[in-house]
Amino acid sequence: MIKMIRLLTILVFWGLSSCKEQPKNTEPAIRNEILEVADTIALEQLLKCDKFDIREGHYRIPDYGCVYAPENENKLGNADVVLIPVTELFDTDGIDKKCNGNIDCLNEIYAQINALTIDEIKNNFNAIIFIVNKKHLKKNSHLDQPYNPTMPYEITPYILKERRWTIGIPYKVKDDESLSSENKWTDSYIDSLVQIFNKNSTQKSGKKNLSISQKWTGSYTAYFNYGNTGENTGWELNIDINADSIIASGDGYQMGFKDELIAEDLGNKIVLYHKKNLYGYMLGAKMNPEFVIEKTGNEYFIISDWISDVEEEPTSLGYKLNKKDYIISTDGYIKN
């Protein structure tokens, strides 16, 4: 009897260990469930809900996406609409090379997409629509987004592939921890499907910044206060520039974003253009450029559409930045 108990214990332990060692499947889970025609009609209306902005490998309706509007075209819930090109006409790498950050050129591309019929969109794109069902929404007319989800709720991905709709496994938001990971899950889901739909997209990560001087390498910070509107009513800007990437983030009162940028070195100025949104507000995609940093002597100044209605007065060169240089160590690591 004792030997049997020991044997069972070993088997249970081995089973649990082997489960832990199994690699997680990082591809998005998609059901083999084709939607009814009535459901697809409602979904496809959202493909024409609003204007799209370009991202890396896809296009996306910025800001709040396609908000629930029961009196208009969106009767399903809050929707985050993503288009993934399948034809060369709207390939994002080709558009990046063609437009090179020129806003007029990009606006022409957006106008072409917005002019497409639903059937033409389905010919040129696959799509993902993330929906928070209307049953999970609560109306609040005082906020920019009039309908907001209340926990617990689910985000359901609907996938258009080769003109056929299927449903993905929903992401459940049930507490603060799952809420904080919501954007990360969404971005990961999009990136995974971009790679699945576009086999060449794995090469897109090789996109580099234009050559920039080492004098710009470092960490830039500034704090902006909205004035006498209460405590902690300001936000902090951080921009990290190194040879591999340029990341800008804003955090504070009514502010939260993190964007990846590309740069153009103009000597005493560095112009930073939007590359992609990593999380938070997506307004940077509409800015051309997103930031301009100017160096005069040992001082640095910045201008940006992100900085508005603040208490600080700009100089003729912009708002003053604090800069901390990076030191490249012998082992190749960057240290403050």
- The band of 31, judged by pLDDT with boundaries at 50, 70 and 90, is low
Mean pLDDT of 229-253: 85
Check residue 186 and give its pLDDT: 92
Mean pLDDT of the chain: 80
Q: In angstroms, how far is CA 274 from the centroid of its own chain?
A: 11
Tracing tokens 């929903």 back to the chain, one arrives at: 170
Mean pLDDT of 210-233: 80
Domain residue limits, the chain: 37-205, 214-335
pLDDT digits (tens, 9 = 90+) for 302-330: 999 999 888 888 999 999 999 998 654 44
Is the pTM higher than 0.85?
Answer: no
Mean pLDDT of 144-172: 89
Those residues whose C-beta lies under 8 Å from the C-beta of residue 236, and which sit 6 or more positions away, are: 221, 222, 223, 224, 250, 251, 252
269 versus 4: which is more confidently predicted? Answer: 269
pLDDT digits (tens, 9 = 90+) for 249-293: 999 888 899 998 988 888 899 999 888 888 888 888 888 889 999
Q: What percent of the chain has pLDDT over 70?
A: 79
Most distant CA pair in the chain, distance: 87
Is the pLDDT at 79 greater than 90? The verdict is yes
Mean pLDDT of 121-148: 86
Check residue 21 and give its pLDDT: 37
- C-alpha span between 200 and 207 (Å, rounded): 13
Instruction: Please say whether the structural domain 214-335 has been given the CATH code 1.10.260.
Output: no
Query: Hey, what long-range contacts does 192-198 have (CB within 8 A, 24 or more apart)?
Result: 192/26, 192/27, 192/28, 193/28, 193/84, 193/126, 193/128, 193/159, 194/56, 194/57, 194/58, 194/84, 196/27, 197/84, 197/86, 197/126, 197/161, 198/57, 198/84, 198/85, 198/86
